[in-house]
Amino acid sequence: MSQKRPIKIGIMGGTFDPIHNGHLVTAEEALIQFDLDKVIFVPAGYPPHKEERKSLDPVERYLMTVIATASNSDFEVSRIEVDRKGPSYTIDTISEFREMYGGGTEIFFITGADAILEIITWRDADKLAGMCKFIAATRPGYCLKKLKELHVLPYENKEPEQGKPKIYIMEIPALAISSTDIRERVKEGLPIRYLVSEGVANYVLKCGFYR
């Protein structure tokens, strides 16, 4: 009898302010390309790297993420960072999921390429490199020079040197959509339909967010 492969989960981290269709396409693409069992969206509570702009309340961002992902049975949403007191650090989140799912589970942390470039500034970055693999989602035309300096690998390649982060590039055309642009469109009274899910668009309008 063949041995079952380890469980493979994707952790989709982000502020999701708001969550948009680029995020959803990214999660679906990672699910297929990396043969994941599921993708867990983790809205940031109080992200330490985004203190320059006050984000929408974490619970509101969590609710929008639930609305956006509800129709896909391969997607889950976790409150792990929303309920955590103080700043949200990736090392704490990955540690909790590692404890929850066990050491044999493969964990892929999915985030934007810009966030990956900050990896060397993250808390316990060396320890984090040994706990999970990273999927760097990029838009077409994104300059990969700095990513290659972080020893980025095609998924099929050999494992990197000991202690080096395992980072795989995944190009997503829909990432031309950005949360910043969506907030600006709402502020200017422009439509956001088809940039975000219908449920999120209605929720933003109903609650008067980003006005």
Q: What is the pLDDT of residues 74-132, one digit of tens each?
A: 999 999 999 998 887 889 999 999 999 998 999 999 998 888 877 766 778 888 888 99
pLDDT, mean of residues 169-184: 89
Dist CA 21 CA 81 (whole Å): 22
pLDDT of residue 208: 96
Q: What is the CATH number of domain 8-176?
A: 3.40.50.620
Residues 177/21, Cβ–Cβ less than 8 Å = yes
Between residues 48 and 52, which one has the greater pLDDT? 48
So what's the pLDDT on residue 13? 92
Residue 210 confidence (pLDDT) above 90: yes
Question: Could you tell me the two tokens for 1?
Answer: 């009898």
Residue ranges per structural domain of the chain: 8-176
- Residue 1 has a pLDDT of 46
* Average pLDDT taken over every residue of the chain: 86
Of 44-48, 175-179, 195-199, least confident by mean pLDDT is 44-48
Q: What is the mean pLDDT of residues 135-156?
A: 69
Sign of CA dihedral 55, 75, 118, 87: positive
Tell me, what's the pLDDT at 66?
Answer: 98
Spell 104-132 as b/e; 16+ CB within 10 A means b.
eebbbbbbbbebbeebeebeeeeebbebb
